[in-house]
């Protein structure tokens, strides 16, 4: 994988300021509209992934198909939500186990109430461990869902669980590498923004920079996922 290319390809586009600026504007509008416009940015990221996979010389697409970007973003968000259902099931079980002993404690003896409370704690520890395992699995599966969707163009393909899990398993090293790179870059940029924000003059630069950071990192993630998709498709370095 070419990690550096994933972060530098954006400025190779002559219209990168406009394209990233639109992404930043969408983020701003999302704050006023309950985050719904963010689906556009998710769909746009998928378009970058698709272009890299297909070997487009200029992976950063124009903002010329808002309808498709929105629907792609909606579909992939719904798919990811389905994969988180086991986690929410664990939360519901844990909540029920916490509430029921509290209700029963009102009419139970101190010993029984203590037993119920102790059982609830043990169950929460077990559920917490299971939740941690699920979270770790989702860490690998989330990129795999995006790659599967871009490769097939079908929402239904995201629920072919065997194929999605196979993508995550067979590309685990690359997924970890991408995650580490994104975390490090985000940490460095946030540190720079924090340092600039500490001074009056720097604050003028820090505010617009903060708005650009998320779209930039999102598009970089799209490019890096596209590299993984290209490798799966057997296109190798030629695709990016």
Residue reference for tokens 């975390």: 183
Residue reference for tokens 């972060």: 7
pLDDT tens digits along 135-149:
888 889 999 999 999
Sort residue 13 into left (φ over 0), alpha (ψ -120 to 50) or beta: beta
Among 227, 164, 232, 166, which Cα is nearest to 3's? 227
Measure the CA dihedral 222/227/229/234, to 10°. Answer: 160
Residues whose CB falls within 8 Å of the CB of residue 185, separated by 6 or more in sequence, listed in order:
7, 217, 220
**Strand residues in the chain grouped as ranges (E):** none
Locate the domains of the chain by residue range.
Answer: 3-239
Looking at residue 82, what is its pLDDT? 93
Residue 58 has phi, psi (to 5 degrees) of -120, 95
Looking at residue 73, what is its pLDDT? 96
pLDDT tens digits along 92-126:
887 777 776 666 555 556 666 667 677 777 877 88
Angle at 151 between CA 34 and CA 86, to 5 degrees: 55
Q: How far apart are CA 193 and CA 183, in angstroms?
A: 15
- What is the average pLDDT score of the chain? 86
Angle at 131 between CA 126 and CA 132, to 5 degrees: 100
pLDDT tens digits along 4-40:
999 999 999 999 999 999 999 998 888 888 788 999 9
Alpha-carbon 197 to chain mean position: 27
Q: How far apart are CA 120 and CA 135, in angstroms?
A: 22
pLDDT tens digits along 65-94:
999 999 999 999 999 999 999 888 888 887
Q: How far apart are CA 42 and CA 57, in angstroms?
A: 21
Length of the chain: 240
Structure tokens at 23: 């992404």
Residue 60 is classified by DSSP as: S
């Amino acid at each position: 994988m070419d990690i550096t290319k994933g972060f530098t390809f954006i400025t190779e586009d002559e219209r990168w300021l406009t394209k990233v600026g639109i992404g930043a504007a969408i983020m701003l509008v999302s704050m006023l509209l309950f985050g719904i416009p963010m689906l556009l940015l998710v769909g746009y990221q998928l378009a970058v992934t698709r272009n890299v996979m297909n070997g487009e010389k200029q992976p950063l697409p124009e903002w010329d198909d808002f309808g498709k970007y929105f629907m792609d973003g909606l579909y992939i968000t719904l798919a990811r939500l389905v994969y988180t259902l086991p986690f929410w099931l664990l939360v519901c079980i844990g909540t029920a186990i916490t509430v029921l002993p509290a209700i029963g404690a009102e009419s139970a003896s101190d010993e029984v109430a203590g037993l119920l409370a102790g059982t609830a704690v043990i169950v929460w520890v077990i559920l917490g461990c299971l939740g941690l395992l699920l979270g770790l699995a989702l860490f690998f599966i989330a990129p795999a869902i995006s790659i599967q969707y871009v490769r097939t163009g079908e929402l239904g393909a995201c629920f072919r669980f065997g194929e999605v899990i196979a993508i995550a398993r067979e590309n685990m090293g690359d997924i970890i590498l991408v995650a580490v790179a994104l975390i490090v870059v985000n940490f460095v940029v946030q540190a720079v923004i924090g340092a600039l924000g500490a001074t009056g003059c720097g604050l003028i630069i820090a505010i617009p920079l903060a708005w650009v950071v998320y779209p930039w990192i999102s598009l970089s993630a799209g490019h890096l996922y596209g590299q993984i998709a290209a490798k799966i498709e057997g296109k190798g370095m030629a695709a990016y």
